[in-house]
Chains A and B, each alone.
Chain A
Amino acid sequence: MSEAVPMREGSQPGAFRWRQSKHAAIGIHVLLILGAVIVMIPLAWMLSTSLKPPDQVNKFPPIWIPTPFVWSNYVHALTIFPIPLWVFVKNSLFMSLAITVGTVMSNAIVAFAFARLRFPGSRVLFLIVLATMMLPGQVTMIPLFLLFSKIGWVNTYNPLIVPSFFGSAYFTFLLRQYYTTIPREMDDAARMDGCGTFGLFFRIIAPMSKPALGITAIFAFTWSWNEFLGPLIYLSKMESFPLALALSYLKGTYRVLWSELMVVSFIAMLPPLILFFVAQRSYIQGIVITGVKG
């Protein structure tokens, strides 16, 4: 990945040559730590609330460290819905994995054509790809809903999964950017050895692009895991809710049980967090390549 977009960690001077003085470095750290604390406080508060006994949740001034730690909140949260929590986790996993498969497969190939093959209209078509990246989804939302309800896809995962098999502007762009960093000489050599277009893709480009394909998979998984509006529109039966949708239901229906709500929120953010930590470097590179935040 590092050939694609070098992120220099090294010695370039910033605008301010603060590092020449020890005091300046300390100043920078103080500012950064202050900001980091502000970012972390809500998350710490979330964990703290998730472990509180009921009588310590609604306290002012707030109690930071629950006494005792009520781990059973986590057990209770699993059964707080009319349906066991693992059903939602399973739904989210199924939906996100299917979307991930579709996204990686379709965009890997489409981006390959845009990056490597010359054909009439390729420039115009690629401009259209870029333009659709800017298109707000609301413009297509209603006709798509009508279309999918006409073919009986409402209350199935199809409206959420099937489109991912037809490419998406963002990932086509991401992968194309990566493919173009692979030297063209590789293509010529492969052609010389008798590779066809498919051979070129499967033997050369795809294996060399594993990091970019990995990022695509991670982003596709994370975003579909976090997706809210789509499931909200298409799914109305609770047993098919993904976790994100189930969470909003929990807020709407019950007297708000903050501890349990924080537990389920925490569970919902675990998969994206774990993926981020595992693949941190390539995650960041992916954002840098496209310049679009996650």
Chain B
Amino acid sequence: MAYILISPWIIGFLAFTFGPMLASLVLSFFRTDMLSAQWVGFANYVTLLSTDTTLSLFWKALYNTAYYVFLSIPLTMAAGFGVAVLLNEKISGRSVYRVIYYLPAIIPGIAVSLLWLWLFNPQFGLLNWFLSLVGLPGIRWLQDPHTAKLALVVMSIWGAGANMLIFLAGLQSIPTHLYEAATIDGAGAWRRFTHITLPMISPTLFFVLITDTIWSFQVFTNVYVMTNGGPAHSTLMYVLWLYLLAFRQYRFGFASALAWVFFIIIMALTALVFKSSGAWVYYETEIGGTRS
């Protein structure tokens, strides 16, 4: 009976997840064009990892993606956490703030991208106007290879409110009596924050870190719409490159190798975060009712 009920998922898993995963692994050992496929062993992987940029933009795309991920994640997490800590105080208008900060997460990525393309406009954009207000020269943002990735990071911070909700829920599940006891013991605000809030919230930080890392590595829509990887490949992100190879050049075999390397990188990073978690994530079985 139970198997009948979960059969949609089993079929879906085999047909749309597990089967295609294996197929993509097999495909990665073929050289393909529109019409034919030819077994080439590990040649795709060798080409992929080549440092010759005429053969492979792998290192460039990986560098760009890592640059974006490793800058935007600490910043968005810090911003989201900061807002959550403020919202966790007993203040009026909390639900209004919560809605406003969460707004950017609901808007379609394509609309966000077009909006920011306009904000980043070097001649008429709002951002350069702000810079001019404080007497700074304008920046060419997305049109300059040196600042294009940074511009994408700036844009990602705007969406930091998405994390805020999760942090806020985590903060609210910290039992009050811990703070009361600490206060009686004479702990000041800062000590309460570092000795209660941070350890108690660390499982949430851990969870957000993992999901955000996986998610940010797949950055696509904004670079596809805003820069198409340019200028000078400075915003060529991994998934954008994969898309261009597969669906513009129809190099399915090579792109599959790319996809599997991507998969392995993400798994390795996730494993690394998991391994490190023993050192900084505090678990108390009783707490954390929002997570399981």
Contact = CB atoms under 8 A, between A and B. Distances in A.
The answer to whether A and B interact is: yes
Contacts of B197: 14-15
A46 B21 CA distance: 41
Interface string B192-221: 110011000000100110110010011011
B6 A136 contact: no
A178 B4 CA distance: 21
Output the residue of A40, A59, A258, A269 with the most chain B CB within 10 A.
A269
Interface string B129-166: 10010000000000000000000000000100111011
B28 to A, nearest CB: 9
A165 interface: yes
A278 interface: no
Contacts of A197: 1, 5
A25 interface: yes
Number of contact residues on B: which range applies? 35 or more
Contact of B165 (A62, A134, A288): A288
Interface string B163-189: 101100101101010011001000001
A15 B176 contact: no
Interface in B31-66: none
A283 B241 CA distance: 34
B91 A293 contact: no
Contacts of B118: 45-46, 49, 258, 261-262
B221 A136 contact: no
A281 to B, nearest CB: 9
Contact of B260 (A38, A42, A112, A139): A139
B23 A40 contact: no
A233 interface: yes
Interface string A242-265: 001101100100000010011001
Interface in B70-105: 83, 85-91, 93-95, 97-105
Given A15-B179, A134-B214, A268-B110, A114 B103 contact: no
Contacts of B247: 145, 233
Given A146-B252, A166-B9, A289 B290 contact: yes
A163 B8 CA distance: 10
B20 A128 contact: no
A143 B176 contact: no
A278 B232 CA distance: 44
A269 B111 contact: yes
Output the residue of A15, A57, A141, A146 with the most chain B CB within 10 A.
A15
A9 B111 contact: no
B2 A5 contact: no
Contacts of A62: 124, 126, 129
25 contacts: A12-B174, A14-B85, A18-B89, A42-B115, A42-B116, A43-B103, A58-B123, A60-B128, A110-B9, A138-B239, A140-B17, A142-B27, A165-B8, A197-B1, A228-B224, A244-B110, A265-B110, A268-B108, A268-B110, A272-B108, A277-B99, A280-B99, A287-B169, A291-B204, A294-B105
The 4 A-B residue pairs with the shortest CB-CB distance, nearest first, are A166-B12, A167-B9, A143-B23, A140-B20
Given A12-B174, A229-B243, A266-B111, 17 more contacts: A9-B94, A15-B85, A15-B189, A15-B196, A17-B189, A32-B87, A45-B126, A60-B123, A60-B129, A110-B5, A139-B260, A141-B259, A142-B246, A272-B106, A277-B99, A288-B166, A291-B204
